[in-house]
Amino acid sequence: MAAPFYPRYYVYFENSSSNPYLIRRIEELNKTANGNVEAKVVCLFRRRDISGNLNTLADSNAREFEEESKQPPLAEQQKHQLKHRELFLSRQFESLPATHIRGKCNVTLLNETDVLAGYLEKEDCFFYSLVFDPVQKTLLADQGEIRVGSKYQAEIPDKLAEGEPDTRVQEKMETKVWDPDNQLKDTQIDQFLVVARAVGTFARALDCSSSIRQPSLHMSAAAASRDITLFHAMDTLQKNGYDLAKAMSTLVPQGGPVLCRDEMEEWSASEAMLFEEALEKYGKDFNDIRQDFLPWKSLASVVQFYYMWKTTDRYIQQKRLKAAEADSKLKQVYIPTYTKPNPNQIMMPGSKPGLNGAAGFQKGLSCESCHTAQSPQWYAWGPPNMQCRLCASCWIYWKKYGGLKTPTQLEGATRAGSAGPRAHMTRQEVQGLSPFTRNEGRAKLLAKNRQTFILQTTKLTRIARRVCEDILQPRRAARRPYASINANAVKAECMIRLPKATKSPLKSKVIPRQSLAAIVKDLAISAPLKLKASRGPPTPINRNQVSQPRVAQSLLGKRGFDAATGVPYPANGRPYTSGMRTTSQSVIKRQKVSQGEAPNPVVFVATKDTRALRKHLTQSEMRRAARKPHLLVRIKLPPPPPRSLPMPLLPSSTSEPIVLED
């Protein structure tokens, strides 16, 4: 069944099968040359589309709104779902094909009389209160706020009783600009206004800038007949007590005739063109018009020019052009219901879409949002290596609102009944912690396989390393991996040197490779026999490391450092794993380790003794230890301070003299 969509509708657009819908407002419906229909839309953004700093700003704005409007308290799950209903309006336009429309929604401006919980009760209902600028990355309050509420109501004073005098000072409350009960007749006032227009025309003839803008007498007379001249003439009569002689002398003082010009005369033709361009882009948002197009004009000047510009022929001409364009554009478009299957559906082998049963493709997993294990259809959700899925109802919620019904581990929360100290951490952060660190209240985490990747260099890169070794400086680059290298410049220099380098072959020193038995023998001889241990008992860096040793097979036969010395870590604080074999063991064949059995990362925390030893190292020794961690670090500890001899305790009172011996 096809549904009609009109301009000014808020609709869902689908640009990806796995991402949530885009929410847009249709401005125009245009037909392209090949017969397709495109919609010019206004972009609205969700919270997931903006940065974390702007989300913090939106949270503070939401808290202020709740305090001012006195909203009823909400549960944590309602607060979580309410963030999915908040949108941010923008002034960004884009064109999208109308065939990507997936439905209609309702977006309203948030008002202090609204109840936030009411948006959760309605389907496809959103609200906005802030405007997002995708270019400047800013959030601003919308200027189109409807002023409804107690703070916008007028305070009406009490009615005066009969015979009660009004004690208010009228001069402070208002200014009198015209007295209809004056001594002049209407004909005399009209004659004075004609004189004022003539003085204005003569003043424009004397003014150089006005004579350039209005070169003809008719244009000067038309400009002098505007309202600003009549207002000045009537104000002159009021100030002079409606005395025509005094008013005449005020119009033509000793310095020359008075020239009155309004905004239509003050603005140049280029400024008027800028105003029309800004009005086409922003509409009647005079703050943005002044800020982006006319910053040298005041806001009052922009508003006055707009209402004067509406009285000109230019406004009527543009209004007719817009009406003609609107007649040529489409008024509505019918979009059929989208029934194609989603590629994210999880189907059993040989089953039809939507009939895969309760277990889904992989048994033992539940919905990431509602934790249910039964659904007529499952959908893959999240990164492929996480193997997460959603049920049918949660998938529709994800597509419409851009989030899950309940916070998950991916969003910084744990499942029900798994309260622990890591509830604020994501699943990736939890997996990155040491596997030896246990917590009794922590829920079981599903450890996913890690995907490996290989970076392979091209032949030109390997040649450039040899030819342009003086420019690349590989040793310096290895010591400073964070410093960027201009690879394009190195390759360009390599192409210049390459013809010369082919004539003179590179001098390379051939080093004979020793056999495996000789290498193992040399390693056994060069291995340290004993390390001088510290005075105190050794403290393991990881508390559970001693109780749960991890043994990983190595390719070469080595004996463990702790087995040789009895100390779990050397003086520089770098741990040595105990997974090395002794030289007496035979060299075994290399075994292929599956991704599921890959070792997890281990986190080591320095102790107080280790940090104290680091202070005795110089800067050069610290760098040498970092570059060559396999070498031992020798620390010269300062001699301990001499212990003071205990003084003998003397009685408080004695008859013998006290003798102090040096």
452-480 pLDDT per residue, tens: 667 788 888 888 888 888 888 888 888 88
* C-alpha closest to that of 443 among 425, 456, 461: 425
Average pLDDT of the chain to the nearest whole number = 76
Per-residue pLDDT, averaged over 594-610, amounts to: 68
Distance CA 79, CA 57 (A): 16
Distance CA 171, CA 519 (A): 106
Distance CA 24, CA 328 (A): 23
State residue 283's pLDDT score: 85
Q: Could you tell me if 84 and 403 are in contact, meaning their C-beta atoms sit under 8 angstroms apart?
A: yes
185 or 662, greater pLDDT: 185
Q: Is the pLDDT of residue 500 over 90?
A: no
Distance CA 96, CA 26 (A): 10
Q: Is the pLDDT of residue 654 over 60?
A: no
pLDDT tens for residues 59-107? 999 998 888 888 888 888 899 999 999 999 998 999 999 999 999 999 9
195 or 384, greater pLDDT: 195
Q: Which range, of 400-414, 417-431, 647-661, averages the lowest pLDDT?
A: 417-431
Count CB atoms within 10 A of the CB of residue 334. 11
Token representation of residue 572: 């520089």
Percent of the chain with pLDDT over 90: 16
Which uninterrupted H or E stretch holds 12? Answer: strand 10-13
Of the pLDDT bands very low, low, confident and very high (cuts 50, 70, 90), residue 328 is confident
Per-residue pLDDT, averaged over 284-304, amounts to: 90
**SS3 of residue 235 by DSSP:** helix
Per-residue pLDDT, averaged over 305-320, amounts to: 87
pLDDT tens for residues 622-638? 888 888 888 888 877 77
Q: Is the pLDDT of residue 356 over 50?
A: no
The region, left, alpha or beta by phi > 0 then psi within -120 to 50, assigned to residue 557 is beta
* C-alpha closest to that of 420 among 446, 445, 444, 442: 442
Token representation of residue 91: 């002034």
Q: Could you tell me if 530 and 565 are in contact, meaning their C-beta atoms sit under 8 angstroms apart?
A: yes
Token representation of residue 611: 């940090």
373 or 219, greater pLDDT: 373
Question: Is 592 exposed, middle or buried, given 0-12, 13-18 or 19+ CB atoms closer than 10 A?
Answer: exposed
Per-residue pLDDT, averaged over 444-454, amounts to: 50
Q: Is the pLDDT of residue 594 over 60?
A: no
State residue 506's pLDDT score: 55
What is the set of domains in the chain, with CATH numbers?
10-141 (2.30.30.490), 186-261 (4.10.1240.50), 272-328 (1.10.10.60), 341-346+367-407 (no CATH), 459-502 (no CATH)
Of the pLDDT bands very low, low, confident and very high (cuts 50, 70, 90), residue 426 is very low
State residue 353's pLDDT score: 45
Count CB atoms within 10 A of the CB of residue 48. 12
Per-residue pLDDT, averaged over 618-622, amounts to: 86
